[in-house]
Chain A
Amino acid sequence: MDRGTGGLLLTSIASTRRARAGEYVVILVAIAGAWLFWSEYGQLATLSWWYDRAAFAQTTAALPKPDYDLDSLPWQVATPHLFERHPGRAVLVTDGQPYAYQAFATLNTNRAAAADYQFDVDVESGGVTIGLLQGGTWIATSSSARAGAFTGSNSTLLGYSRSLTLVIANNNPAGESRAVVKSLRLYLRR
């Protein structure tokens, strides 16, 4: 009889704990759901903000002043045959490695939530890739695989890493590429 009572008591405690846990879990799920909706909308809205402005700029050339441009980016080079910088312009002749990094600039993100870049390149031969790396992983890329004007913009959300690398890479499986970078603007958004 005693054992039975004790068993009932334990069962009752267990079921009370279970019910309490269930209450906490449903509250957590409700919060997680709200966060999910908010974060998904936020992500789309953040990217959309940039593309809306880029689309506007195509007609008005009214992009705001960037955080970095071609002249102010702290460029470093890997092994290009030539990376010659002039005010508002850079001439790139890549090495023969098909997809190798040629020039890059590593920056502090300053806790930015998103990064946007806009570029205008004349590809004289081969192809180039312009993109952003964070933690060793591409988070945004724009590629051209043939000669001609290569212009556009891209936008991405940033991860938790504090640094960000803007890279110009070769994109020519056949070897060397030649390009003139006429404009490259980078925006960091909180």
Chain B
Amino acid sequence: MTYLSSPMTKAASVRATAATVARLVVAVEFVLAVAAIAYAGYHDLPDVFVGAPRAVPVRIAASCGGAAASESCAASVMELNAGRFRVATADSRGELTVTLTPRAPDRARQLLVRVSQPKRVELTIAPQSAAAHRPVPLADDTGRVVTPIEASSETVVHFAAKPDAAGPIVVEEIGLFESGAGLLADARPIFRNIPPLRYHGTLVLRAVAALALFTIAAAVFLPAPPLRRVSPVVLAVVAFSMCVLDLAALYSPYTGQDLRSFYASGPLQERVGANLNGGLWQGMRLLHGQGLTLMDGVVPWERMPGYGLFCALAGALFGHATPVDIAISTVLLQALFYSAAVGVFAWAAASVMPAAAAWGVGLLVAWLPKQVGLTQVDAIIAPVALLVLASLCLRLGVSARGREIPIALDVFVHATFALWFAVRPDVLPGWLAVSLWLHWREWRRLVIPVTFFLAIGCVWGAYKARYTGEFALTTTSAGASLFCGLFEVPSRFALTCSDPSYFAWIHEHTPFQPQSAAANSYATREVIRFWLTYPGHLAVMLDHKLMQMLDGDLWPGYPTQLQVFVFGAVRRYWLVQALLAVLAVTVVLGHRRERSLLLAWPLWFDAPLFWIMFASLGRFYSAVGVALLASAVPPLFERSFYDAVAARPWRAATVLVCAALFATTAWSFHDWLLRRDAFHYWTPLLDPSRSALSGFK
């Protein structure tokens, strides 16, 4: 016996020792991976939020016309940050003169310029340095150009469009700097000569993605108590780093526009109230005592007040001296909010799932494509949804321990829903459904959500009523959104999905202002009539938008190489289908069914709204994508899930086969349905001539 068992025991002992060492190695690798991710983001922080090294402070004067032109005209100047400006001419005269007067002339040794219009421009500098004897040719795609200049109390920079490149001159950046370091590439301790586009746009992101995914596998082998303790803080740091890395790839000062330049030349040039500047102007005006308005006497008809307040908070915390400043402050607060929400979720989720699962979900949420660079409400829906899910996790945790739910906890749960309602009203159906689910035994607690809803709705309704003369608890844009939703689907109908199209349609058929509650009601009625008139179109629309969502729209945001690292290998559609299959197995087998269904509530009650309303290429779905991860990923880390599958293999297999059948045939069915015109334009119930939305191309 001894003879036989000794070698086995010895082998087992060697294996156990190797496993112990491996666990130690994995822990070290985990720490190194997290440190590398955090460092990568930290390195990019100034590039993203500042955009350039400190410029020499200057006074700037600009005119469109030659230096000696008798007929000069105004050129607009916008400060990007101290000493760095955007200058643009309004007309097509083809000349622009910028005079820079540095406060410390001896420090002004380099001129930074980037032109985006017209296609070809010639730059001359006075006084000329030895390096700039001849005019410098610039083009709209040249990017940043740094030219040495002679120290002078005044530097005059003249831009002249080439004769074949007429149009206004737009100088995206101009400034004087002491040295050229950090203007054309970032200063790195290693790998200094790899071009920034390659380094930040591809290599770092792919490496970070690989390391991040590795930490998910590594987390499984880490001791749970310390992981649970450190996860909230570490995940918040990692999430912030990933936000910054994504922003650095999308808004690189070295290869395109930095964030400040992007806002100065893009959203802040658009009409007040456009998607990316509405909240900014509201926040700016609020901080200047002009109310939560877009301009004098105008409140947004299609938005709740929360995002304007969020922008105001960002401005108050991080600066709002200029519109560009408040935009950057808002993006920074969005990134911080996203990261903090990931941390809060990880902390709360650890009460209802293994520590490794909480890490995995948190990390995947941090890794997803994000919208934090865009100053619109959709950018903060994912973190708000994370807070909602975190509160539900806490409630599930208390419930699982068999304790009575404290009323304070329910107040917290509904406060998170209320936060969502304060920024976007699409939460209402889900809030109602979850409230009924949570409180059907203790219905008196429904008073909590009702109170929150009325408090926010009445305050915003009363505030808007001062300007609009009508009282509405939420927005008055549901009709417009339903209208637009009809025409986001391929069809032969004549109307199109756009604000001008909606406004023209309302004016054509009613005496109402398109932004009014009356127009909203009219549009809603007409859309319902249209659904009943063309039930085939309704079916096509639901199917088409469902498929768009499953195809990856539920993870909105512009994917960088951080995500393409995975999405390039596995199409998003298959990832979504796999997660849905896990969710279905979980529910059918009854493994933590309540947790799965509750954490996935945006999938049941929020996503379908956008199948009938305006989906805007999926930018409203971020909560749905987060909820799918939060509900479908944890079972994969739980041994009891696999035990449940092993206990009922046929049932699990049936679900998986059904899921596979759906996944493989859904697109074919979608394409087939789109081609069935007889069904699409079938009118079995109502007379199409009575619909104000009918009409073919």
Hey, which bits of chain A sit against chain B, CB under 8 A? 20, 22-27, 29-34, 36-37, 40, 43-45, 47-48, 51-52, 54-55, 145-146, 148
Q: Interface segment, B175-183, B203-211, B239-247?
A: B203-211
Which residues of B have CB within 8 Å of A34?
25, 29
| B14-22, B501-509, B675-683: which lies at the interface | B14-22
Contact between chains at B19 and A26 (CB < 8 Å): yes
Give every chain B residue within 8 A of A43 (Cβ-Cβ). Answer: 203, 207
- Knowing A30-B25, A30-B29, A43-B203, say if A36 contacts B211 (CB, 8 Å): yes
- CB-based contact B194/A44 at 8 Å: yes
Looking at the assembled complex, report how far the CB atom of B106 sits from the nearest CB atom of chain A, in whole angstroms.
28
Say yes or no: A33 contacts B194, CB within 8 Å: no
Is B651 located at the chain interface by the 8 A CB criterion?
no
Given contacts A26-B221, A37-B32, contact A44 B191 (CB under 8 A): yes
Question: Cβ of B139 and Cβ of A146 under 8 Å apart?
Answer: yes
Contacts of A31 in B (CB 8 A): 22
Q: Can you list 26 A-B pairs with a CB-CB distance of less than 8 A? A: A22-B19, A23-B18, A25-B221, A26-B22, A26-B23, A27-B19, A29-B218, A30-B25, A30-B26, A30-B29, A32-B217, A33-B214, A33-B218, A44-B191, A44-B194, A47-B191, A47-B194, A47-B198, A48-B191, A48-B192, A51-B193, A51-B195, A52-B193, A54-B193, A146-B139, A146-B141
- Cα A173 to Cα B572 in complex, Å, equals 32
Contact of B22 among A30, A47, A48, A146 (CB under 8 A): A30
Residue contact B211 to A27, C-beta cutoff 8 Å? no
Kindly state the separation between the CA atoms of A40 and B597 in the bound complex, as whole angstroms.
39
Q: Which residues of A contact B192 (CB under 8 A)?
A: 48, 52
Residues in chain A near residue B190, CB distance under 8 A: 44, 48
Residues of B within 8 A of A45 (CB): 191
CA distance in complex: A20, B32 (Å):
27
Does B18 contact A27, Cβ atoms closer than 8 Å?
yes
State how many angstroms separate the Cβ of A39 from the closest Cβ of chain B. Answer: 9
Q: Give me the interface of B with A, judged by CB distance under 8 Å.
A: 15-16, 18-19, 21-23, 25-26, 29-30, 32-33, 137, 139, 141, 190-195, 198, 203, 207, 210-211, 214, 217-218, 220-221
- Is the CB–CB distance between A51 and B194 below 8 Å? yes
Q: CB distance B214 to A36 under 8 Å?
A: yes
Tell me the complex Cα distance, A51–B194, Å: 6
Chain B neighbourhood of A146, CB < 8 A: 139, 141
Q: What chain B residues lie within 8 Å of A27 (beta carbons)?
A: 18-19, 22
CB of B19 within 8 A of CB of A23, answer: yes
Least CB distance, A30 to chain B, in whole angstroms: 4
Contacting pair B207 A44 (CB below 8 A): yes
Point out the residue from B19, B193, B198, B214 that lies within 8 Å of A55, measured CB to CB: B193
Chain B hits for A47, CB < 8 A: 191, 194, 198, 203
- Which residue in chain B gives the minimum CB-CB distance to A58? B193
State the CA gap A23–B16 with chains docked (Å). Answer: 7
| Bound form: Cα–Cα A31–B218 in Å | 11
Chain B residues within an 8 Å CB radius of A54: 193
CB-based nearest B residue for A28:
B22
* Extra 20 A-B pairs, beta carbons < 8 Å, given A36-B210, A47-B194: A23-B15, A23-B19, A24-B15, A25-B221, A26-B19, A27-B18, A29-B22, A29-B26, A33-B25, A33-B30, A36-B211, A40-B211, A44-B191, A44-B203, A44-B207, A48-B190, A48-B192, A52-B192, A145-B141, A148-B137
Q: Known: A26-B221, A47-B198, A146-B141. Is A40-B25 also a contact (CB below 8 A)?
A: no
Closest 9 CB pairs of A and B: A33-B29, A23-B19, A51-B193, A30-B22, A30-B25, A48-B191, A27-B22, A55-B193, A40-B207
Q: How far is the CA of A31 from the CA of B203 in the complex (A)?
A: 22
Task: Verify B221–A29 contact, CB threshold 8 A.
Answer: yes
Q: Which residues on the A side are within 8 Å of B221 (C-beta)?
A: 25-26, 29
How far does the Cβ of A35 sit from chain B's closest Cβ, in whole Å? 10
CA distance A29 to B18 in the complex (A): 12
Interchain nearest-CB distance for A113 vs B (Å): 16
Q: How far is the CB of A91 from chain B (nearest CB, A)?
A: 24
A130 to B19, CA, bound (A): 50
- Give the Cβ gap from B449 to chain A, nearest Cβ, in Å: 45
Minimum Cβ distance to chain A for residue B137 (Å): 8
Closest to B639 in A: A18
In whole angstroms, what is the CA distance A146 to B164 when docked?
14
Please indicate the chain A residues that have their CB under 8 angstroms from the CB of B29 in the complex: 30, 33-34, 37
Determine the distance from Cα of A43 to Cα of B203 in the docked complex, in whole angstroms: 9
Are B214 and A32 in contact, with the CB atoms below 8 A? yes
Min CB distance, A176 to chain B, in Å? Answer: 18
Give every chain A residue within 8 A of B218 (Cβ-Cβ): 29, 33
| Cα of A40 to Cα of B139 in the assembled complex, Å | 36
Bound form: Cα–Cα A148–B136 in Å = 13
Closest chain A residue to B137 by CB distance?
A: A148
What's the minimum C-beta distance from A183 to chain B, rounded to whole angstroms? 20
Contacts of B33 in A (CB 8 A): 33, 37
Q: How far is the CA of A104 from the CA of B141 in the complex (A)?
A: 27
A113 to B139, CA, bound (A): 37
Chain A residues near B141 (CB, 8 Å)?
145-146
**How many angstroms from the CA of A29 to the CA of B19 in the assembled complex?**
10
Most-contacted residue by chain B among A26, A32, A54 (CB, 10 A): A26
A65 and B21 CA atoms in complex are apart in Å by 47
Q: Please give the distance in Å from A18's CB to the nearest CB on chain B.
A: 9
* Contact residue among A33, A40, A48 (Cβ-Cβ distance under 8 Å from B26): A33
Q: Which residues of A contact B220 (CB under 8 A)?
A: 29
Kindly provide the distance from the CB of A154 to the nearest chain B CB, expressed in whole angstroms.
9
In the assembled complex, the CB of A69 is this many whole angstroms from the nearest CB of chain B, namely 23
CB neighbours (8 Å) of B22 from chain A are: 23, 26-27, 29-31
- Would you call B139 and A48 a contact (CB within 8 A)? no
Q: How far is the CA of A47 from the CA of B217 in the complex (A)?
A: 28
- Complexed CA–CA distance, A29 and B24 (Å): 11
**Chain A residues, Cβ within 8 Å of B137:** 148
B413 CB to nearest A CB, Å: 37
A146, closest chain B residue (CB): B139
Q: Which partner residue on chain A sits nearest B18 by CB separation?
A: A27
In the assembled complex, which residues on chain B have CB atoms less than 8 Å from the CB atom of A55? 193
Task: List chain A residues, Cβ under 8 A from B214.
Answer: 32-33, 36
Closest B residue, CB atoms, query A33 = B29
Given contacts A32-B217, A145-B141, A146-B139, A26 and B195 within 8 Å (CB-CB)? no
CA separation between A48 and B204, bound complex, in Å? 13
Q: Of all chain B residues, which has the CB nearest A153? A: B195
